Amino acid sequence: MDKKQLQQLLVIIPIVLVAGIFGYYKYLLPFERKKRRYSPVKWKPSKGIRRVPFARSRLPKLKEEIGQLNLEIAKIQKRLPPNKDIPI
């Protein structure tokens, strides 16, 4: 390469680079933004929804515990006096 071609190359490369950057921001970036806007929303499950399988696995055990507690409450209520007034 002679000196003249090197100078032309040093002038052309920055011009092409600037034109490419301008074209990207002017034409392609707005297209990508529109595409993202109209594409289906990527849904992220909330913390509550992520805990559902864990809660579902505990449900039978909790129901059993509630049943036992209800039986215990019934036994204790039988021992209580029918009159709710407390003697002094």
**Which pair of structure tokens corresponds to residue 35?**
């595409």
Q: What angle do CA 14, 17, 20 make, to 5 degrees?
A: 150
The answer to the question of residue 3 being in a domain is no
21: nearest Cα among 31, 29, 32, 12: 29
In tens, the pLDDT along 55-68 reads 888 899 999 999 99
Residue 27 belongs to a domain: yes
Kindly state whether residue 65 falls inside one of the protein's structural domains. yes
Q: How many domains are contained in the chain?
A: 2
CA distance 69 to 52: 24
* Residue 84 included in any domain: no
> Any idea of the CA torsion for 53, 58, 60, 63, to the nearest 10 degrees?
-130
**Residue 28 in domain:** yes
Q: What is the pLDDT of residue 51?
A: 77
Domain that holds residue 25: 9-39
List pLDDT tens digits, range 2-54: 888 889 888 999 999 999 888 888 887 777 766 666 666 666 667 767 777 88
